[in-house]
């Protein structure tokens, strides 16, 4: 009995020690997430703090228990929990940045050549570049059925698990045929894209390819890779998340993902410092780190003089994404994996750009065939359902049982983000669907939702 008691006490001690260790590891993650999320939601998206606590901060147990303090004088937010404190700062034109390695003073002293506000008249410029939409109804579209489908995206099937849909926009043949917003949101509201930002990074790489400044089959221009096996990694490998770098994209346990986002100022540099685990193009691993390497490549290719205007002047302003904003890390590089914001109509414009193979009002924004390249599966991707920073409904060997969305055509591809952000492009149906919100778990059956929209369209 004494031996059993000692073993039990030893096991209890191990469990308690493990819990304490995990709490210590998780505390900076939780306070960092709380501070950064609250800062961006309030200062960038103009959200009510109480709704942020109720929606975004409920994703992790205990996260909503953090004490949030706003410092209006300098537009900063601190979050504290069990003696740990994290701080995020807001800078006009840049959004919010979580303090990690650099001091607030160092970040405040950084210089940025920001773009001028776009010159546009949203209420007089016609869709899609402006917001003036045609009143003409498209032949063959069952608008009653379509509107019922749009309405369904805002209905909570389980009152105990609200889906918090914030916006839905539907484009057919380039025209805006369906649109709805939750109370407190409008067509001008900036909304968080999370990992849909990866697809924006894809577009920025595409623009540089079109300009002849990058080639996707060339070795990635990462200086620290030139003297080891990593020099074989190409831009194509990075775009298809098949670099072979050692990486853990785990969200619910401390690892590479949280180390990069919470503790590192240079997120692309942190990811580029990872060692090679597999040969390039032989192993698929969805990786926010990979995308941040790409974002850093964009910066070094463009040069700091033009970098902070590049995305706006070469992409956003050209296609009417006039509410779009990218947030930088502490080193000044845009967090191309996750921190992109735009209105629902802006996100729809982005999807329309890819539906039209990168052409906007007769101008080629992206290289010819870039949309097809982006929606071509990575050879090593599981079930071939990932292209170049875009998710695919099915790979080249389309199998209805292996579709991400069984009720949607196989040629569909999408930008997708955490908590149910979607920009779905369905070329065969001339369709773009945007759904934005804060949904935890499986509250939205996106496949059936899109199928109901398709049924309202002409055959």
Q: What is the pLDDT of residues 308-347, one digit of tens each?
A: 999 999 999 999 999 999 999 999 999 999 999 999 999 9
Q: What total number of domains does the chain contain?
A: 2
Say whether both 165 and 74 belong to one domain: no
Q: Which of 109, 301, 112, 322 has the alpha carbon at shortest distance from 223?
A: 301
Say whether both 40 and 164 belong to one domain: no
The answer to whether residue 305 sits within a structural domain is: yes
The answer to whether residue 410 sits within a structural domain is: yes
Q: At what angle do helices 288-302 and 197-210 cross, to 10 degrees?
A: 40
Query: With left for phi above 0 and alpha for psi between -120 and 50, is residue 158 left, alpha or beta?
Result: beta
Whole-number percent of the chain with pLDDT over 70: 93
Say whether both 342 and 397 belong to one domain: yes
Q: What is the pTM of this model?
A: 0.94
SS3 312: helix
Say whether both 382 and 244 belong to one domain: yes
Say whether both 178 and 314 belong to one domain: yes
Say whether both 57 and 155 belong to one domain: no
Question: What's the rounded Cα separation, in Å, for the pair 426 and 432?
Answer: 6
Say whether both 194 and 96 belong to one domain: no
End-of-domain residue from the set 88, 108, 128: 108
Question: What's the rounded Cα separation, in Å, for the pair 433 and 325?
Answer: 21
pLDDT at 63: 82
Cβ neighbourhood burial of 300 (10 Å; 0-12, 13-18, 19+): middle
The answer to whether residue 127 sits within a structural domain is: no
Say whether both 93 and 148 belong to one domain: no
SS3 212: coil
The answer to whether residue 442 sits within a structural domain is: yes
pLDDT at 135: 81
Model confidence over 392-427: pLDDT tens digits?
A: 998 765 566 688 999 999 999 999 999 999 999 999
pLDDT tens, the chain, 459 aa long = 677 777 666 666 655 554 444 555 679 999 999 999 999 999 999 999 999 999 999 887 778 889 999 999 999 999 999 999 999 999 999 999 999 999 999 999 999 999 988 776 767 789 999 998 888 889 999 999 999 999 999 999 887 889 999 999 999 999 999 999 999 999 999 999 999 999 999 999 999 999 999 999 999 999 999 999 999 999 999 999 999 999 999 887 789 999 999 999 999 999 999 999 999 999 999 999 999 999 999 999 999 999 999 999 999 999 999 999 999 999 999 999 999 999 999 999 999 999 999 999 999 999 999 999 999 998 877 678 999 999 999 876 556 668 899 999 999 999 999 999 999 999 999 999 999 999 987 678 999 999 999 999 998
Query: Which CATH number characterizes residue 188's domain?
Result: 3.40.710.10
Question: What's the rounded Cα separation, in Å, for the pair 421 and 370?
Answer: 23
End-of-domain residue from the set 81, 108, 135: 108
pLDDT at 21: 46
Say whether both 165 and 263 belong to one domain: yes
The answer to whether residue 69 sits within a structural domain is: yes
Question: What's the rounded Cα separation, in Å, for the pair 85 and 89?
Answer: 14
The answer to whether residue 151 sits within a structural domain is: yes
The answer to whether residue 118 sits within a structural domain is: no
The answer to whether residue 248 sits within a structural domain is: yes
Are 414 and 325 in contact by the 8 Å Cβ rule? The answer is no
Question: The domain containing residue 201 runs over which residues?
Answer: 143-454
End-of-domain residue from the set 108, 131, 162: 108
Question: What's the rounded Cα separation, in Å, for the pair 146 and 458?
Answer: 11
Helices (DSSP H) in 115-224: which residue ranges?
143-152, 197-210
Count of all residues that appear for the chain in the document: 459
pLDDT at 24: 57
């Amino acid at each position: 009995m004494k031996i059993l008691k000692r073993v039990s006490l030893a096991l209890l001690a191990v469990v308690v020690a493990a819990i304490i260790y995990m709490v210590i590891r998780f505390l900076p993650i939780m306070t960092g997430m709380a501070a950064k999320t609250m800062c961006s939601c309030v200062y960038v998206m103009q959200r009510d703090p109480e709704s942020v606590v109720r929606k975004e901060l409920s994703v992790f147990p205990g996260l909503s228990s953090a004490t949030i303090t706003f410092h209006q004088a300098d537009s900063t937010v601190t979050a504290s929990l069990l003696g740990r404190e994290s701080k995020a700062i807001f800078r006009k034109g840049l959004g919010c940045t979580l303090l990690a390695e650099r001091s607030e003073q160092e970040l405040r002293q950084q210089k940025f050549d920001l773009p001028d506000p776009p010159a546009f008249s949203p209420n007089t410029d016609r869709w899609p570049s402006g917001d003036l939409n045609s009143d003409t109804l498209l032949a063959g579209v069952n608008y009653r059925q379509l509107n019922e489908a749009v309405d369904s995206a805002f209905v909570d099937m389980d009152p105990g698990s609200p889906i918090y849909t914030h916006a839905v926009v539907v484009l057919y043949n380039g025209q805006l045929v369906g649109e709805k917003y939750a109370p407190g949101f409008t067509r001008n509201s900036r909304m968080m894209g999370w990992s849909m930002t990866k697809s924006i990074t894809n577009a920025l790489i595409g623009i540089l390819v079109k300009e002849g400044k990058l080639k996707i089959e060339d070795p990635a221009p990462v200086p620290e890779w030139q003297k080891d096996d990593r020099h074989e990694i190409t831009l194509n490998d990075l775009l298809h998340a098949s670099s072979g770098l050692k990486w853990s994209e785990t969200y619910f346990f401390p690892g590479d993902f949280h180390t990069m986002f919470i503790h590192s100022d240079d997120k692309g540099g942190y990811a580029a410092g990872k060692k090679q685990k597999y040969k390039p193009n032989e192993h698929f691993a969805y990786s926010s780190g990979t995308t941040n390497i790409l974002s850093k490549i964009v910066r070094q290719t463009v040069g700091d003089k033009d970098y902070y205007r590049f995305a706006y002047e070469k992409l956003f302003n050209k296609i009417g994404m006039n509410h779009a904003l990218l947030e930088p890390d502490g080193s000044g590089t845009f967090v191309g994996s996750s921190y992109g914001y735009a209105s629902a109509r802006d996100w729809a414009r982005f999807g329309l750009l890819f539906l039209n193979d990168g052409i906007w009002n007769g101008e080629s924004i992206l290289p010819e065939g870039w949309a097809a390249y982006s929606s071509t599966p990575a050879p090593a991707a599981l079930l071939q359902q990932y292209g170049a920073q875009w998710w695919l409904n099915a790979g080249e060997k389309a199998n209805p049982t292996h579709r991400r969305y069984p009720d949607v055509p196989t040629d569909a591809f999408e930008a997708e983000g955490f908590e149910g952000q979607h920009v779905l492009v369905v070329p065969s149906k001339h369709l773009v669907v945007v759904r934005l919100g804060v949904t935890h778990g499986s509250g939205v059956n996106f496949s059936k939702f899109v199928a109901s929209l398709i049924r309202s369209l002409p055959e």
